[in-house]
Amino acid sequence: MTQSPAVAAPRYTKQTVTRQTVWATEKLFSLTVTRPHSFKFVPGQFARLGLALDPTAPDTPNEWRAYSMVSAPNENELEFYSVVVPDGKFSPPLAQLRVGDALWINNSVFGFLTLDAFADGEDLWLLATGTGLSAYLSMLRDPTTFARFKRIILVHGVRYAFELAYRDELLSLMQQHPGQLTYLPITTREPLTQQLSPSLSPTSLTPARLTTLLSTGELEQRALLRLDPSQARVMLCGNPEMVTEMRSLLSERGFAAGRRGVPGNLAVENYW
Ligand SMILES: Cc1cc2nc3c(=O)[nH]c(=O)nc-3n(C[C@H](O)[C@H](O)[C@H](O)COP(=O)(O)OP(=O)(O)OC[C@H]3O[C@@H](n4cnc5c(N)ncnc54)[C@H](O)[C@@H]3O)c2cc1C
Ligand SMILES: NC(=O)c1ccc[n+]([C@@H]2O[C@H](COP(=O)([O-])OP(=O)(O)OC[C@H]3O[C@@H](n4cnc5c(N)ncnc54)[C@H](OP(=O)(O)O)[C@@H]3O)[C@@H](O)[C@H]2O)c1
């Protein structure tokens, strides 16, 4: 009897969009999709999402991009948060997806921006610009993060206040973890208003980049906490120039990524 040639199982599955949330029209949105049964991940990891953009092959994904999981590992569905890059090949059609539409997901997950990168420490600083927030949302939705660190500082840097997506969820998490979680939004192109950010002191409303706030010591003032390399563990996620500049500033202060299995006190992820 001749054996038929083995057919390799596809490295991806077709999932279905179950919810679309627009945070800022034509700029920021989130998608929730069905979750493949065997899809496992650790908060901070990312998936590769696929779209079938060739009209002659509507059921074959031909364009893929990395997206961090926003959802926690125990959620039934997967959530992703995305910017729309106006001339981008992927994010504009991704933003057009509606409930019931298909989205393909690679079977493998990737990335080392996870809490496994760190030895135990007291303070966890999660520093993001733009959609770099995604990876931290998964961590903050996971109770084990709160069991591991005494204090957690989440800094989200954006150009304008309207880009502070997930703000209500973060304020609510802060209320659930009083004294443990600090949510520190920062804007660079307009001041924050006290109305939008009632928990912030008036001095924390001035526009400034994350790098400037770190250099001047104002980041620690706003967080009401010292950035001490012996007890702080720092994550950087988002704009690659921000990551490079912050990494250099932090290395001067004694922060370094882990090497050869030795955990460090700094972990980073570039989004492009
Ligand atoms: C590890 C990893 C995780 C990522 N996770 C996310 C995520 O959770 N959410 C998300 O929106 N994107 C994420 N990205 C970026 C994402 O993969 C795409 O690059 C993005 O959706 C734009 O795709 P595009 O084809 O439209 O534009 P691309 O051709 O991919 O990018 C064009 C240009 O747009 C800018 N750009 C790309 N991504 C961003 C961004 N996220 N924010 C601001 N400017 C950007 C850069 O200048 C880039 O050169 C991640 C990237 C990596 C490497
Ligand atoms: N067409 C448009 O009008 C328009 C408008 C907005 C966004 N977009 C698209 O959206 C993308 C930008 O998205 P985004 O605003 O989420 O991301 P972003 O450009 O990375 O900006 C996010 C935040 O990071 C800050 N930042 C940038 N570089 C930094 C650095 N080296 N050090 C410290 N902080 C730094 C920015 O400050 P600064 O404000 O000081 O840069 C901003 O507050 C672009 O790729 C563009 O395609 C388009």
pLDDT in tens, 126-173: 999 999 999 999 999 999 999 999 999 999 999 999 999 999 999 999
Exposure of 34 in the CB half-sphere (CA atoms within 13 A): 12
Can you give the pLDDT at residue 194? 80
Assign residue 164 the CATH number of its domain. 3.40.50.80
How far from each other are the two terminal CA atoms of the chain, in whole angstroms? 52
Tokens representing 212?
A: 């400037």
Q: Are residues 258 and 125 in the same domain?
A: yes
Can you give the pLDDT at residue 163? 97
Query: Above pLDDT 90, what percent of the chain?
Result: 89
Q: Are residues 256 and 127 in the same domain?
A: yes
Q: Are residues 266 and 177 in the same domain?
A: yes
Query: Nearest CA to 11 among 31, 39, 30?
Result: 39
Q: Are residues 79 and 153 in the same domain?
A: no
Q: Are residues 150 and 30 in the same domain?
A: no
Q: Is 209 in the pocket of ligand 2 (CB under 6 A)?
A: yes
Asked if residue 1 is part of any domain, the answer here is no
Asked if residue 222 is part of any domain, the answer here is yes
Asked if residue 7 is part of any domain, the answer here is no
From 64, 65, 156, mutation site for ligand 1 pocket: most ligand atoms within 8 A of C-beta: 65
Ligand 1 binding pocket (C-beta < 6 A) is 46, 65-68, 80-83, 85, 88-91, 111, 130-131, 134, 269, 271-272
CA angle, 81 as apex, 58 and 247 as ends, to 5°? Answer: 125
Give the total number of structural domains in the chain. 2
Q: Which amino acid is at 17?
A: V
* Residue that terminates a domain, selected from 76, 106, 136: 106
Name the 3-class secondary structure at 17.
strand
Contact 121, 231 (CB under 8 A): yes
**What mean pLDDT do residues 231-244 have?**
98
Can you give the pLDDT at residue 7? 77
Can you give the pLDDT at residue 190? 96
Q: Are residues 203 and 164 in the same domain?
A: yes
Distance 162 CA to ligand 2 centre (A): 13
Asked if residue 46 is part of any domain, the answer here is yes
Distance 126 CA to ligand 2 centre (A): 18
Domain hosting 244: range is 115-270
Q: Is 247 in the pocket of ligand 2 (CB under 6 A)?
A: no
Q: Are residues 136 and 229 in the same domain?
A: yes
Can you give the pLDDT at residue 1? 55
Contact 90, 63 (CB under 8 A): yes
- Please state, rounded to an integer, the average pLDDT across all residues of the chain: 95
Can you give the pLDDT at residue 203? 83
Query: Nearest CA to 117 among 244, 236, 13?
Result: 236
Assign residue 56 the CATH number of its domain. 2.40.30.10
